[in-house]
Structure 1
Amino acid sequence: MGPGTAVRWRRCVSRWRRTTLAALICGAVVLPLSGAARPGIPAPAPAVLAAPTAGTLDEAYAANRANAAEASRMAADHGDRHRAAADRSMADPSRRLLAFDGQGAGRATEVFGDLAHADHVAVLVPGSDTSLDTYDRFRAAALALHRQLAAEAPEGTRTAVVAWLGYETPGTVSTAVATTGRADRAAPKLRALVDDLRGITGPGTSLTLLCHSYGSVVCARAAAGLDVADIALVGSPGTGADSAAGLHTSARIWAARGADDWVEHVPHLSAGLFGTTVGFGTDPLSPDFGARVFAAGDGGHSDYFDTGSVSLTNLARIVLGETAEVTHD
């Protein structure tokens, strides 16, 4: 490559970076004005409960199921059969809801396993397009992980999974998904959940955050000083931090991406804009970021918790603290 060709190549790359960043910024500023909010679905206010303890879990579960049942009735009266069915499913006597809010897109925190006596607890933090209306796919991931943990755990080791839909996730096709705004608002809620889990389980229990897609941005914003052993980022577009050290946590930071995950093609750029950040910076899989990169197999963006997958097996090993058994590409 001659000097002239090299200069043209650098200019081309520079223009591409500027154009991409400009598109992100333009979208973040302009498109929110065109998105009309969907009409609200009536729902009761969330149940008012004291911070849960091991002794009050059953009471909390029952109160939140009752709230979900009332939300189902209100949604049905409003004519929204889909939401009514989703809420009714939440109210089933078998469900363990640590929290529930049927208002708007909805929020829920569901427990799988015996949380009060678990030795290892995994908290799943979802990415974009997760709401009460799409909750079943998120729940399926939690169930798959719970089964994998039961299969992988040494005899006598107790595990639990917490599916945390505790924030308003952005739409995949939206401008909010390119900024840290939703994550910044979600981070204090995730910290509060971890505090609540510590009050239920005690200091001897190992907590792990498994953060998918935009959920990795939420985990990154909450990470500083968080009392968790591991944070695993899967299908991450970036975290908003330049490096794992920039998360200011003592937790081990892991990262993985499936070979067929479209998020690989998301440009790793970032810029400040009106008090938020557009784009998420350094690729968590890059050596510059400094995460522990593990194998995720050939799956796509929604396949990290598929039964039998390489990624699910490795995630279970991370949760169980079997770090020497985690495989790498």
Structure 2
Amino acid sequence: MGNTPTTHPHRNPHSNPHPYPLLLLRRLLLPTLLTAAIVLPLIGAARPTIPAPPPATLTTPLTPATLPAAYEANRKNAIEAARMAAAHGDTHRAEADRALAAPSRHLLAFDGRGSGQATEVIGDLAHARHIAVLVPGSDTTLDTYPRFHRAAASLYTALTHHPAESRTAGNTVAVIAWLGYETPATVSTTVTTTTRADEAAPRLRAFARDLRTTAPAGAHLTLICHSYGSVVCGRAAPGLAADDIALIGSPGTGADSATTLHTRARVWAARGAADWVAHVPHVRAGLFGTGATVGFGTDPVSAAFGARVFDAAGADHSGYFTPGSASLANLARITLGETSEVTRA
């Protein structure tokens, strides 16, 4: 679940005089229908593999002193990926790779193979006192990366223009766009299960640990998890080295409550009034004893979940980082640790 159209069908409230039995039936049948979707997947044409080099090998651990070398190694890797994609005839991917390889971009990681992965820093990570890591939802790949980058850049602008930061000399904030896993497609069977999130969770935990050695000691770390990305954050939450976790446009986390996420971080949640994800039924069922689940359980903005619910006003599913919006202002406050300033829903 990610940046999909925000329109959705509206039911005529007068079309059925007894809507509640039908709603109950839908909720009871959903786990069965979703499980059937896993057993009988849709068959689609696979995109031809895009050639790319293996990721750059970093010979030293990430530290403030080694960041420039890491950025340069990944930049060169993206340049080679662009060359190979162009030779393969995929001009769109070649352009995406070249954009990431620009000298102004700072890549902590890059992998141009397949749908692609990248971890990009906006700001001065070596000196940042406040760091936000954005975890994306479905349909986020190197081909669609520009919209993910725009969200991260929008948050960075909001942070650097925040009154508390504008009075402080130097770059004290950093935003990291973490496309560190293979996101599911919005129209797919994988988007209904925790499988991709279970695969991504150890990587996200490891990345957060690495940040603690790369960033200044005591830096405030916030994870901002959008749509299916909130499932990733939910699965990664136990042992996650974060101070705050913000769930936006979330279909659920796979957990029954904020308490059962087993994290020391403050857990926040928001949903805009125009977000179609509000219509996703909040059910959860085990998948054949695999440990994965179909559906994502309790609504994160419900009282039963127990998160700190903040105002996202009229945001649609793709609108949480819109400049000037209530949701972006509150995400900036959470990132800066200004919890008393966050407007609650």
- Please report the TM-score for the alignment, with normalisation by the length of structure 1: 0.95
Cross-structure match for 1:272: 286
Q: 1:208 aligns with which of 198, 222, 234?
A: 222
Structure 2: 5+ residue runs without aligned partners? Answer: 1-17
> What do the CA deviations read for 1:68-105 (whole angstroms, capped 9, x no partner)?
00000000000000000100111111110000000000
Structure 1: 5+ residue runs without aligned partners? Answer: 1-7
**Equivalent position amino acid for 2:210 in 1:** D
Cross-structure match for 1:298: 314
Q: Secondary structure at the match of 2:96?
A: helix
Please state how far the C-alpha of 1:296 moved relative to its aligned partner.
0.3
Indicate if the aligned counterparts of 1:187 and 1:219 stay in contact, CA closer than 8 A.
yes
Matches of residues 148-297 of structure 1 in structure 2 within 5 Å?
A: 148-152=158-162, 153-154=164-165, 155-156=167-168, 158-274=172-288, 275=290, 276-297=292-313
Separation in 2 of the partners of 1:300 and 1:73? 37
Please state how far the C-alpha of 1:30 moved relative to its aligned partner.
1.2
Indicate if the aligned counterparts of 1:241 and 1:280 stay in contact, CA closer than 8 A.
yes
Please state how far the C-alpha of 1:27 moved relative to its aligned partner.
1.4
> What do the CA deviations read for 1:97-127 (whole angstroms, capped 9, x no partner)?
0000000000000000000100000000000
Separation in 2 of the partners of 1:29 and 1:235? 28
From the superposition, tell whether residues 200 and 20 of structure 1 become closer, same or farther in structure 2 (CA, over 3 Å).
same
Separation in 1 of the partners of 2:270 and 2:113? 34
Please state how far the C-alpha of 1:310 moved relative to its aligned partner.
0.5
Please state how far the C-alpha of 1:187 moved relative to its aligned partner.
0.4
Separation in 2 of the partners of 1:124 and 1:31? 30
Please state how far the C-alpha of 1:225 moved relative to its aligned partner.
1.8
Separation in 1 of the partners of 2:19 and 2:98? 58
Separation in 2 of the partners of 1:239 and 1:150? 30
Separation in 2 of the partners of 1:124 and 1:18? 34
Identity of aligned residues (%): 63
Establish whether residue 310 from structure 1 lines up as the match of residue 326 from structure 2: yes
Indicate if the aligned counterparts of 1:210 and 1:231 stay in contact, CA closer than 8 A.
yes
Separation in 1 of the partners of 2:176 and 2:273? 27
Establish whether residue 128 from structure 1 lines up as the match of residue 142 from structure 2: no
Establish whether residue 323 from structure 1 lines up as the match of residue 339 from structure 2: yes
Please state how far the C-alpha of 1:12 moved relative to its aligned partner.
4.2
Indicate if the aligned counterparts of 1:28 and 1:278 stay in contact, CA closer than 8 A.
no
Cross-structure match for 1:52: 62
Please state how far the C-alpha of 1:51 moved relative to its aligned partner.
2.4
**Equivalent position amino acid for 1:327 in 2:** T
**Equivalent position amino acid for 1:17 in 2:** R
Establish whether residue 138 from structure 1 lines up as the match of residue 152 from structure 2: no
User: Quick check: which one's helix share is greater?
Assistant: 1
Q: 1:30 aligns with which of 14, 31, 40?
A: 40
Q: Secondary structure at the match of 1:55?
A: coil
Q: Secondary structure at the match of 2:329?
A: helix
Question: How many matched pairs?
Answer: 321
Q: Secondary structure at the match of 2:304?
A: coil
What value does the CA root-mean-square deviation take over the aligned residues? 1.4
**Equivalent position amino acid for 1:48 in 2:** T
Separation in 1 of the partners of 2:67 and 2:26? 53
Indicate if the aligned counterparts of 1:187 and 1:222 stay in contact, CA closer than 8 A.
yes
- Please report the TM-score for the alignment, with normalisation by the length of structure 2: 0.90
Please state how far the C-alpha of 1:24 moved relative to its aligned partner.
1.4
**Which deviates more, 49-58 or 161-170?**
49-58
Indicate if the aligned counterparts of 2:205 and 2:239 stay in contact, CA closer than 8 A.
no
Between 1 and 2, higher relative CO (CA 8 Å, sep ≥ 6) is seen in 2
Q: Secondary structure at the match of 2:66?
A: helix
